[in-house]
Amino acid sequence: NAGVMQNPRHLVRRRGQEARLRCSPMKGHSHVYWYRQLPEEGLKFMVYLQKENIIDESGMPKERFSAEFPKEGPSILRIQQVVRGDSAAYFCASSPQSANTEAFFGQGTRLTVV
């Protein structure tokens, strides 16, 4: 089991472009979580998804950010019209179930907006 895979590892975008971050959970895991780590800060919860469902998006900015976890394929975190303040490390985690279960993290995608 290769673990949670995120790609790309590094992503550079110009202001106004779109950023797409991908996350393939561990085999057998149907729960995916996205976290964002701004410079000099701790990880902050963004969104929790199960296959084809958004369960909790209370940590997502209200505009420009969206997430999906389709029936087939990886989970995608999409940021439209990126701004400099979106520069951060974005981490994905997965677990086989939601409660009282260890979540396994990917290595993160470092987004830089220039």
Partner 1 sequence: AQRVTQPEKLLSVFKGAPVELKCNYSYSGSPELFWYVQYSRQRLQLLLRHISRESIKGFTADLNKGETSFHLKKPFAQEEDSAMYYCALGGGSNYKLTFGKGTLLTVNP
Is residue 108 involved in binding partner 1 (CB under 8 A)?
yes
Indicate which single residue of 14, 28, 42, 62 sits in contact with partner 1 (rule: CB under 8 A).
Answer: 42
DSSP conformational letter for 60: S
Minimum CB separation of residue 96 from partner 1 in Å reads 12
Whether the Cβ atoms of residue 113 and residue 16 lie closer than 8 Å to each other: no
Measured CA to CA, the distance from residue 96 to residue 25 in angstroms comes to 9
Nearer to partner 1, 9 or 15 (CB): 9
Is residue 41 involved in binding partner 1 (CB under 8 A)?
yes
Q: What DSSP element (H or E) covers 89?
A: strand 88-95
Is residue 112 involved in binding partner 1 (CB under 8 A)?
no
Is residue 25 involved in binding partner 1 (CB under 8 A)?
no
Pick from 91, 107, 86: nearest CA to 3: 107
Indicate which single residue of 10, 56, 61, 80 sits in contact with partner 1 (rule: CB under 8 A).
Answer: 56
Helix (H) and strand (E) counts in the chain: 0, 11
Binding site for partner 1 (CB under 8 A): 3-4, 31, 33, 35, 40-45, 48, 56, 58-59, 91, 95, 98-108
